[in-house]
Chains A and B, each alone.
Chain A
Amino acid sequence: MTTTSAQASLGGARRPPRPARSLARRRATERVVNTVLLAAAAVSVLTTFGIVLVLVFETFEFFRVVPFFDFVLGTEWAPLFEPKHFGVLPLVGGTLLVAGIAGLIAMPLGLVIAIYLAEYAGVRTRSIVKPFLEVLAGIPTVVFGYFALTFVTPNLLQPLIPGTDVFNAAAAGIVVGLMVLPLVATISEDAMAAVPRSLREGAFALGATDLEVAVRVVVPAALSGIAASFILAISRAIGETMAVAIAAGSTPVLTLDPTRSIQTMTGYIAQVSLGDTPQQSLEFRTIFAVGMTLFVMTLALNVVSQLFVRRFRNVYQ
């Protein structure tokens, strides 16, 4: 094989090389390659369709028994006990409470970290801080859950606010906030790093201080990226499961009190799908209805983030 190809290339120096294979074979190969690549791409599309189809079908079956408005507007969630109630609001409320607390932690802190890294930190500081952010992003979520349950609640929250439940929304929200913090910090920092140096120079030339340049020029110019990082972080916080399943509790109550035990949508789904609820039962179908609600919420957030990016994108020449 090697000898023939060597001879062929030697011969090719003098006269045009003969095609190694016929045109028909080459076309056949291209068709096969094309099909394989298409199939690979199709996997992702089909998976998405499959999941959405199952969700829609099971949700539809669920709503044949439970009236839609009882589900969407109901304030009591007790699908597993008599008398049954299918009001999803306590789960939505629990999710939003945890995501809100997470946002309160991750957004300001992440933005400050991003400003520091993009505008203040020297090369060496950056090279130390950034890997730590990546390590934080790589910690398994189950570890965050136990961190909330065994450290945040007993050592921080309970001494500070006596009467805090063992399982509570605050601890879950705090660790989810820490979990999505690297997301906010890195995406925001990327957005700020993309702001042209000429804008900073323009502001410095007017006698602006480092802080004025960062807050009045760089942050507004990077607003679309920063907003996108916020929305992505909230979206991830809403979908986060393991930490909240461990730390937030499993008491679906509609409350704004973060010291109480609550249940989130993801926590409920995890609880039921791991439990012994018989499949095909109405109780089991609740997790598809809740999953559908979750899906609609995160989809809406992603759409909003796209709109935001488009609305605020500044075109630099």
Chain B
Amino acid sequence: MVSAMRAPEPVAERVSDPAKLERVFELRGLSAWYGAAQALRNITFDIPKNRVTAIIGPSGCGKSTLIRCLDRMNDLIPGFRAEGHVTYHDEDIYGPAADPVLLRRHIGMVFQKPNPFPKSVFDNVAFGPRINGYTGNMHEVVEGSLRRAVLWDEVKDKLGASGLALSGGQQQRLCIARALAVEPDVLLMDEPCSALDPIATYRIEELITDLARDYSIVIVTHNMQQASRVSDLTAFLLAGEERTGELVEFGPTRDLFTRPADERTEAYITGRFG
């Protein structure tokens, strides 16, 4: 239904009360540690379906740790430990029966620095479907994903060229296409524009707004303007002296930016620190 509407609705109409929205993730008292250092404390909020949720906050506040908890990418870091509950469609992803490999097949992720594989453009996009055992028309999947990532017109004549030969912005859109090719229902983006120039950033932001019709998107950004431009909901994280991130405020982006409930949020968005 959402995808049928071509123009994105104004944020205020889309999100009035986050509690009424259908949820993808529920975070309940999530804490995380790298070895002895605690990175997150007692994070509780819900991430809604088919909306863009931004996670903002100053450097070192645990934004990246938080988003990487959602697809268990932190498992790859030795010494990482999480407590509390994160549910994805009502299933505890840190529970004993959870399978991180299966989870990641439903949750796409785009990283800070574009990381295309040293393979052709085609093989980059086809990677996910191939490891998922997809046997249909691969060319269709690749073309469709590249079109969704608004990259098709730029690369259709060089699908055999190395993904590393593209520009930085194109590489990031290739990584988005690669993530879309496995038809995830969530797209996690960890500062996807931090390595890009303003024009490439603008194109990615356009793309995020466009994708939000069909996907639930979580985006970490250090750029408050970006959060206010692309997101429906915003979570503001802050860490104290001991560098343990806590959730200060979560709500509709417009409310958070125009009438923040917490004075620390106000101080941050008006540029008094961070």
A221 touches B117 (CB 8 A): yes
A16 within 8 A of B: no
A67 interfacial by beta-carbon distance below 8 Å: no
Q: Is the CB of A207 within 8 A of B132?
A: yes
Chain B min CB distance to A213 (Å): 9
Instruction: Decide: A206 and B178 in contact? CB cutoff 8 A.
Output: yes
Whether A203 and B127, one on each chain, are in contact in the complex, defined by CB atoms closer than 8 angstroms, is yes
From B76, B131, B175, B182, give the contact of A200 (CB < 8 A): B76
B147 touches A (CB below 8 Å): no
Per-position binary interface string of chain B over residues 89-117, scored 1 when its CB falls under 8 Å from any chain A CB and 0 otherwise: 00000000000011111111101010111
Residues in A neighbouring B113, C-beta threshold 8 A: 198, 317
Question: How many contacts A-B (CB < 8 Å)?
Answer: 74
Please state if A314 and B164 are interface contacts (CB–CB under 8 Å).
Answer: yes
Residues of A within 8 Å of B175, CB to CB, are: 202
CB distance from A253 to the nearest CB of B (A): 46
Distance between B171 CB and nearest chain A CB, rounded to angstroms: 9
CA distance A220 to B103 in the complex (A): 25
CB A204 to nearest CB in B, in angstroms, measures 6
CB <8 Å contact, B78 and A206: no
From residue 76 to 93 of chain A, which have CB atoms closer than 8 A to chain B?
Answer: none
Which residue on chain B has the smallest CB distance to residue A212? B131
With A201-B109, A202-B111, A202-B178 already in contact, 6 other A-B pairs whose C-beta atoms are closer than 8 Å:
A198-B113, A200-B76, A203-B127, A206-B127, A207-B132, A220-B118
Q: List 24 A-B contacts (CB under 8 A).
A: A198-B115, A199-B118, A201-B73, A201-B76, A202-B117, A202-B175, A202-B178, A205-B71, A205-B104, A205-B107, A206-B105, A206-B108, A206-B131, A206-B182, A207-B106, A207-B131, A207-B132, A208-B101, A209-B131, A221-B118, A314-B118, A314-B164, A315-B164, A317-B113
Binding site for B on A (CB under 8 A): 123, 196, 198-209, 212, 216-217, 220-221, 314-317
